[in-house]
Amino acid sequence: MRSIRRFLGYLESQLGAMNGTRSRHTNRPELIAEHGYDTKFAMHAARLGVQGLEFARTGRITLPIPEPHRTLLRAIRSGDVPLAETLRVINELRADLITELDHDRLPDEPDRAWIDSWLIAAYQQEWRD
């Protein structure tokens, strides 16, 4: 559940930066002038929703982001998706993440002992090679 809440929090932070509720100052006024909104913040908000849902449902994150999401994210970033549609997509992803909180299949905490063991083995293998 903690991981889903983090994805949701990061998504909401990007959304707040995009729509100006987090700060009135923008680092990318040229994007707003050209597209009517900060497409970079919007793309990151949508990406966090996509990746958060994949992680909530599978326990994994696929990189690079697979289709059809990759094309959608690129279209948002380039400003090809109108603001209203972008907000609809982000809000739908956000709602789906909130729903996943009720159906969370992931443990509350990661298995740190297993992670540490795996990391040590990976480093040792690399150092031997």
Query: Over the stretch 23-63, which tens digit does the pLDDT of each residue have?
Result: 666 678 888 888 989 999 999 999 999 999 999 999 899 99
More confidently predicted of 1 and 17: 17
**pTM score, two decimals?**
0.81
- pLDDT number for residue 28: 80
Instruction: Give yes or no for residue 98 having a pLDDT over 70.
Output: yes
Q: Which residues of 4-37 are buried (b: 16+ CB within 10 A; e: fewer)?
A: beebbebbbebbebbbeeeeeeeeeeebeeebeb
Instruction: Give yes or no for residue 97 having a pLDDT over 90.
Output: yes
Residue 53 phi/psi, 5-degree rounding, is -65, -45
Q: Which residues of 106-117 are buried (b: 16+ CB within 10 A; e: fewer)?
A: beeeeeeeeeee
